[in-house]
Amino acid sequence: MATFASVPSESLKVRPALDADVLVRSILFIAVFLAVWVSFHPFPSLAEPLEVTEAGDHVNQVGYSVLFLLLAAWSLLHEPKRLMLVLRPILIATLLWCALSVVTSWEPSLSARRFASTLVTIGIASMVLLLPRNARHFSDLMAATVLIVLAACYLGVLLAPSLSIHQATDFIEPELAGDWRGVFGHKNGASATMVLFVFIGLFIARMRSVTLGAVIAALASIFLFFTHSKTSIAVLPLVLIVSVIIARVQRPTVGMALALLVVVALSVLSIGTLYFAPIRTLVDLLIADPSFTGRTEIWNFALDHVAQRPITGYGFATFWGTEQVVYGMGGDLVWANAAGNAHNGYVDLALTIGIPGAILATLWLVVLPLVDYYRSPHEPYSAPLKMLFLRVGLFMTYASCFESRFFEISGAWLFLVAATFGLRFLSLTRLARR
């Protein structure tokens, strides 16, 4: 049994000019990532309030369900036992705790629907990695998909700026006028995706073509700059530096400690300002906006409510936007209780699935991928892929100190889960080889 990254010899086999199996694999792979990056609602108009119903978005539900069923059918025909590699105890424990939080949620039906959507997304992320025949095929498919998304984003900016650039007429956040968002509904989604595209470009430059990789990284960097997203722009170079250091460190404990120390440092410099006067004074000296664009008010509001339900939380993916929060917890906090999320992934985890759930999810998504990175074989062929998955994980880990990136229906979330599973596959390469 072998994963797509562990069989470089496959790329040397002579295949027919048109291989039906490769064609099916390629179409499915590209369809998945176009669905999560371009979405089923590209270029949404922000001039009118979004219509939100209790039943959710039927187009997304049908679209993701169809992709899940297609991938499931394909996987059943292609060694389904490979999927068992991702079912590690920490993932099972995390999902079971999330299921418990659905039962104890103050909005059980809403939590149940969102949990079902999350299970579908996790299933898609695990199966999509089985589609490429090898790392070179993976890089080719990624290059094609990313170029399509980048082309759509740039064409949108040129031909339909009112649907691709935030406008002063936007119903929500008109102050973002001028920030690019491309096919996405918000500049933060666009900026996170562009950072991932930079990583993919660097991966393609090492795996396939320096010129093609450089073009992708350059186009993504330019678009990222025009999103004016402070978090993504600041975290990108940080991830590049930390990832290079981790790759050169020989002792796993040192590399893991460094990666996790950055999370602690970012948390202290952000949420720490709420509790420690010296930290608040230091941040006042270092940055022009020590409130982190109003985030401190939201963090304070969220942490106060974490303290009220610290074990089970308020329910999986359920707190922000509910009537209890918007209308029942307002008081004098107009901005905080009306926020869409906590602008901190770890706080949102504690708020929705409780502190035990947050710990389990952090172990699954942050800690164990670092362990898998160091457990995977040190081979030139798999090194670019390992680095790509590591950088995706580090970016989502660090960006989540200022944005809520975990358990959301987005391309960045699906790619994080795929990277987590990818590192797991790579760490088991020696056992999986024939």
| Structure confidence by residue, pLDDT tens digits, 155-189 | 999 999 999 999 888 777 788 888 999 999 889 89
325 or 269, which is more confident: 269
Cα–Cα distance, 51 to 53 (Å, whole number)? 7
Nearest alpha carbon to residue 182 among 279, 292, 44, 357: 44
* Structure confidence at residue 227 (pLDDT): 94
| Structure confidence by residue, pLDDT tens digits, 61-88 | 888 899 999 999 998 888 777 778 778 8
* Structure confidence at residue 185 (pLDDT): 87
| Structure confidence by residue, pLDDT tens digits, 89-135 | 999 999 999 999 999 998 899 899 999 999 999 999 999 999 998 88
For residue 4, pLDDT beyond 60: no
* Structure confidence at residue 120 (pLDDT): 93
| Structure confidence by residue, pLDDT tens digits, 327-360 | 666 555 555 566 677 888 999 999 999 999 999 9
* Structure confidence at residue 145 (pLDDT): 96
For residue 326, pLDDT beyond 70: no
- Angle at the Cα of 120 from the Cα atoms of 38 and 27, rounded to 5 degrees: 50
| Structure confidence by residue, pLDDT tens digits, 189-237 | 999 999 999 999 999 999 989 999 999 999 999 999 999 999 999 999 9
Mean pLDDT of the chain: 86
* Structure confidence at residue 434 (pLDDT): 33
* Structure confidence at residue 385 (pLDDT): 93
290 or 3, which is more confident: 290
| Structure confidence by residue, pLDDT tens digits, 358-395 | 999 999 999 999 999 998 888 878 889 999 999 999 99
**Percent share of the chain, pLDDT over 90:** 51
